[in-house]
Structure 1
C-alpha cells in the first residue's frame, strides 16, 4: 500500500496453509483480475526453500550453498532453553561448530535457533530429529538453511523444472527411509524414519520420559542430556540399549542375501512368496536393474537378489540392512557371486531334473491322470511349467483407453507396430462422453480420425452458467472465438464412438483383450511384462496407458493418485427426439455442488453432478437407483429440461466415482520416464474434470509420444549384437525423455488449474459464492478456451 495515496502498489504476498496450494496459485498467472492480467510466481522465500531442499537432497552442493547446507533451523523450542543445552541434543550426530538462539527483550529464547555442523553428512543425519524428539512437550522442528548470499550467481535456475536429465527430484535421507515403509505389508513395522544406513531416531521421545530406543540409534544417543533448568520436565534420558548382534555384511558384490523377511509358519496365502518378490522388486528397482530375485518360501525368510552391477547392490544393502519388514528386523548381506550361482543353481537344476523325468514319464500329459480315490489331477494342475516367452515386441502399451489407442494409432501411422494389452474383455466405455476442445481436435486430426467423429457430434457454440440456488438469468459466453492458431472447436463426444474410431484404424491383432498386467521385470535392455494368466511378454518399449490405478506408473515411481474430496455422478440420456437444449453447455453451480449438461447431438445429452460426499453418501456407489434420486434431490433450482434429463436416464447409463488427481509437484519433479518405460493419459496426469481436459490431454500425449518414439526407433543402426541392443535402448531412453520434457509443464498446468477451478466453483462460502456468480461465466469460458488453445503438433518426424 502506498503510504501517500493509500492505493495498492499492485503487488501482494499470499501465504498458504500447505505447499500444495502454491503450484495451483502459480497456474493462475496470466488470468484477468479487474481487467488486468495478474502475474503469480513464487516469493524469494519459496525459491530459497526449493533451492535448499534441492541442494541438500542432491548431495551435490557447490558455491554459496555448500556452507548453508551444514546449518540447520531448529524451531518450536522452549523459551528457557540455552545454547549449551541445544548443542548437547545435536552433538551425538557430529561436531557442532556453532549454536545460535535469538533472544527477546526479556532474555528468553524466541522459540527457534540455528545449529551449524562441521560436516555436511552430520547435518543431513541430524535432519532426522524433525518431529521425532519433544523438549518440554514440544516436538522440535528441524530443517536445512540455505544462505541467501550469492543467490543471483549460484548458477541454478530454480524455476527450470523441465529438465529431465536429473531423473526427478532427489529424496532426502528421511524421505528415503519413509519410503521403506512400503515394504511393511502388515503396517506393524517400527516407525523408524532415520536415514538409510545412518542412525534412526525413536518416534517423538519426550524429555524426561523413557523412550523405546532403536538399536540403530542407541550408539549415538547413549547417555543423557542434562536436566534443563526452568523447563517443566527433566532432561532427555536415553538409557543404554542392548544392540542385537548383526551378521557381518560381507565383501561387496552384485549379489545380496536378505534374512528374516518372513516367517513361513505364519503365512497363509499359498503364493505369498510372489507378493514378497513383487514388493522387493518394486522397492529395490530404484537402486538399479534387478537381474534376479528368488524367495525361498521354505526358509527362515531368505530372499536372494542379484543386481546388474555392484554399485546398485551396495546402495540397496545400505537401504535394507537393519530395516523393518512386516514387523521383522531384516539383515542384508553380500554374497560371493560363485556362492550365489551355486546356491541358486542347485534349485534350478533340481527343477530341470524334475521336468526331464516328468516329461519322459508322461508323453501325453493331458491324457495321463494321477488319481487318489475319486479325485484326479491332470494338465497344469499336475505339472505347471514356466510359460514360454515368444518374440520380442517393439512396443507394448498397457491399456486400451484414449491415451493407449491414440499412441498405438500414432505409431501405426509412422510405420511402427505396437501391441496393446487390455485387461477387460472389450473396449471400456465408462464415463459415457467427454468434452473435446480445440486441442483435442488437433490431436484427432493428427492421427486421422477427426473427420469421422465430427459427422457424429454437434458443435457447441457457448456456455450458459447459472446458479442453482437463486432464480436469475444465466450468464452466457461464446465459444465462437479465434485462438492464437485458429478458430476454436468444442464438441461433446461419446467415449464409445471415440474408442471405436481409434480401434478401427488399427491393424487386426493390435489389441489383446483379457490381458491383465500384474508385474514388470527387467531383463537386460528389455522389459518382461507378466500377465495374470502367467503369460510373459518381452518388449523393447513399455508404455502405461492404464489409468489412475496404473501398474506401469507404480513401476516408474509415481504414488497412487490422491482423493480430491469430491465425487462425481455421470449419466447419458437419450431423448429419442430433439432434446431442446440447443447447442450450448449448461453449467449449474450450487452450494457445494456443480452440475452440467452437454449435448452430444440433437437427441442425446451427457450430464454430470459433482459433490462433496459424506460417509453416508459414499454408500451410493454401485446403486444407480439411489444415485439418481440423490442427484434429483440435490439439483436445486434448475430448468425443467435439465431435471427431465436426469429423470429419463436409464439406470445402466448412470455411474459414480471419486475424483482423484496427481499432486502437481509429483509431475513436476518426478520421473515421467524411466529407461525404456513411460506413462500417458490418466496414468501420467489424473486430474479433476473441472476444465474438461483429461481426455484431451490424453490425446495430446498419444501424438507427442508417438512422434518422439518414432524418431528414436526409425533411425538406422550400424551395429549388431549386444552393442545394437544397447544403442537402441539409449535412443529409446532419449526419445522418452524428450516426450517427458514436452509433457511435464503441460500436465502440471492442467492438473493445477482443474483443481483450483473445481474448488472455486464448488465452494460454499458466502463471499466466494458472490464472486463466483459474478464472474464465473466470463472467467470460466475464457480460462477453458485458453487451456484449449494448444497444438500438440503433427506426426511428422525428422
Structure 2
C-alpha cells in the first residue's frame, strides 16, 4: 500500500496538531506556513521560538482538560503540562479591586478531571513542530487551493499552488488537504463561496506577555463596563495578560496600543497598571474578535477538511478556540486511518465535529455578550449574580464548560501508530 500524502495549510496550533497526528497515523505530511520567520508578536515560529523573540511574543493559550487529553494521544500532553504555571485559585474582580468570586482549580479537577493549563503559544507551537520530521514544515509558503479533488477517484487528488515562496507558482498534489488557515480562511471561501463570512462579535481583544513585576503572581479576571482584563502567570517569570473592550471594529490607536490600554485600564486595580508599565509597546497584539455567522454546510468538501478557526471561529470567553482545533485534529487523524476509505472518513469528521463545535461557538458567544454590558444597572446585576453564585454554589461558575472540558478523544494513541 502506497503512503498517503497530506498537505496542511497553516502552521498554528490546530494545523501542527493535525500534522503530528496524521504523521503518527502513517501519512506523509507537509505543512505550508505563510510566515517566513518568527517576529515579535507572531504566533508562528519554527522550529521553536527562544530568547528575546519568545519573551516578547504577546500571546498565551489556555488548554483545558479536553485539549490536554487529545494531546495525550500524541504523547504531547505531558509536554504542555510541563510548560504551564499551575495556579490553585483565581479571582473575579471589579475594576476597583472588589472581589466577586474565587475560583478553585480543585473544583475543575473534580468536575473535568484536571485544571486548565496556560502556556506560551509560541512554545506550544515549537513543541509540536519539533515532533514532525525534518523538512515537514515549509515556511514562507502561501498556499492557494486549486482543486479540492475527489476522494472517490484515485486519479483526482487535491491540488494546491504555492505563492510567495522561492518556488512560487509550483503546484503540489495530495490525497488530503487540511485547511487550518485561520478566521479569514481563503480555503473556506473557495469551498463554500456563498457561505457568510465570520462576523464581528462586538468587541476587540488585546494580548501581551510581560516580565512579572515584583509581587505579581496570581490569576484574576476583572469585568468593567463593556470591558474586561485578565492576568495569568506563565513559567519563566512571565505574565500573560489580555483585555477586551466593546469598540467599533477596525480601530487602531494612533499613539500605539499600549497607550490605548493605559487610557482604558490604567486606573484599574493592582496589578493592571504595573503590568502595563512593564509592557513592550511594540509587542501588544490587537485583534477584532470574530465568531461564526452561521454553521457551515460541512467541515469538508472533496479531499479537503477544514479545521479550527477556518471553520468554527469563536469568541475567547470559554478558552476553547485552540482546544477545539486540537480536538478537530485528533478526531480527523483517528478517522483517516491508513486503511480507511477517505470519503467515509471525511463524512464522519463533519458528522462528529460540526454539531459539537457550533454548540461551543454559541455558548462562548453568549458569555461574550455579557462582557459587553455597559449600563450601570446591567453591570450591577452582573456583579450581584457573580457574587451570589460564588457564595451559594461555587462550582456553578464551571457549568458553561460541562460537556466541553470533560470530552475524551477516541480510544487509542497514535504515539505507536496504532
TM-score, length-scaled by structure 2: 0.84
For structure 1, the 5+ residue unaligned runs are 1-390, 716-730
Which of 614, 618, 625 is residue 251 of structure 2 equivalent to?
618
What does residue 417 of structure 1 align with?
28
What does residue 749 of structure 1 align with?
359
Question: Is 1:540 paired with 2:166?
Answer: no
The answer (yes or no) to whether the contact 1:437–1:490 under 8 Å persists in 2 is yes
CA distance, structure 2, for counterparts of residue 639 and residue 462 of structure 1 = 18
What SS class does the counterpart of residue 455 from structure 1 fall into? helix
What does residue 443 of structure 1 align with?
70
Question: Is 1:639 paired with 2:269?
Answer: yes
* Larger relative contact order, structure 1 or 2 (CA cutoff 8 Å, min sep 6): 2
Which of 195, 208, 216 is residue 580 of structure 1 equivalent to?
216
Q: Please list the CA deviations of residues 716-770 of structure 1 after superposition, one character each: whole Å capped at 9, or x if unmatched.
A: xxxxxxxxxxxxxxx2111011111111121111111111101112211344312
What does residue 80 of structure 2 align with?
453
What does residue 666 of structure 1 align with?
295
CA distance, structure 1, for counterparts of residue 101 and residue 231 of structure 2 = 15
The answer (yes or no) to whether the contact 1:568–1:609 under 8 Å persists in 2 is yes
What does residue 187 of structure 2 align with?
552
Bigger CA drift: 508-517 or 766-775?
A: 766-775
The answer (yes or no) to whether the contact 2:11–2:180 under 8 Å persists in 1 is yes
Residues 335-734 of structure 1 mapped to structure 2, 5 A cutoff: 394-426=5-37, 428-429=42-43, 432-468=59-95, 470-481=96-107, 487-521=113-147, 525-532=156-163, 533-557=168-192, 558-575=195-212, 579-582=215-218, 585-601=219-235, 603-614=237-248, 618-620=251-253, 626-635=256-265, 638-663=268-293, 665-667=294-296, 670-710=297-337, 713-715=338-340, 731-734=341-344
Residues 249-288 of structure 1 mapped to structure 2, 5 A cutoff: none
Are the structure 2 counterparts of residues 489 and 784 from structure 1 closer, same or farther at C-alpha, using a change threshold of 3 Å? Answer: same
Counting matched residue pairs gives: 380
TM-score, length-scaled by structure 1: 0.45
How much does 1:561 deviate? Answer: 1.3
How much does 1:464 deviate? Answer: 0.8
What SS class does the counterpart of residue 619 from structure 1 fall into? coil
The answer (yes or no) to whether the contact 1:706–1:795 under 8 Å persists in 2 is no
Are the structure 2 counterparts of residues 413 and 530 from structure 1 closer, same or farther at C-alpha, using a change threshold of 3 Å? Answer: same
What SS class does the counterpart of residue 682 from structure 1 fall into? helix
The answer (yes or no) to whether the contact 1:588–1:638 under 8 Å persists in 2 is no
CA distance, structure 1, for counterparts of residue 92 and residue 221 of structure 2 = 5
Q: Please list the CA deviations of residues 264-286 of structure 1 after superposition, one character each: whole Å capped at 9, or x if unmatched.
A: xxxxxxxxxxxxxxxxxxxxxxx
CA distance, structure 2, for counterparts of residue 653 and residue 600 of structure 1 = 16
What does residue 787 of structure 1 align with?
404
Which of 364, 370, 388 is residue 760 of structure 1 equivalent to?
370
CA distance, structure 2, for counterparts of residue 657 and residue 408 of structure 1 = 26
Are the structure 2 counterparts of residues 747 and 702 from structure 1 closer, same or farther at C-alpha, using a change threshold of 3 Å? Answer: same
The CA RMSD over aligned residues, in Å, is 2.5
Residues 16-95 of structure 1 mapped to structure 2, 5 A cutoff: none
How much does 1:487 deviate? Answer: 2.5
For structure 2, the 5+ residue unaligned runs are 44-56, 150-154, 391-395
Are the structure 2 counterparts of residues 431 and 735 from structure 1 closer, same or farther at C-alpha, using a change threshold of 3 Å? Answer: farther
What does residue 211 of structure 1 align with?
none
How much does 1:482 deviate? Answer: 5.5
CA distance, structure 1, for counterparts of residue 405 and residue 89 of structure 2 = 14
How much does 1:438 deviate? Answer: 1.1
How much does 1:578 deviate? Answer: 5.5
Question: Is 1:773 paired with 2:383?
Answer: yes
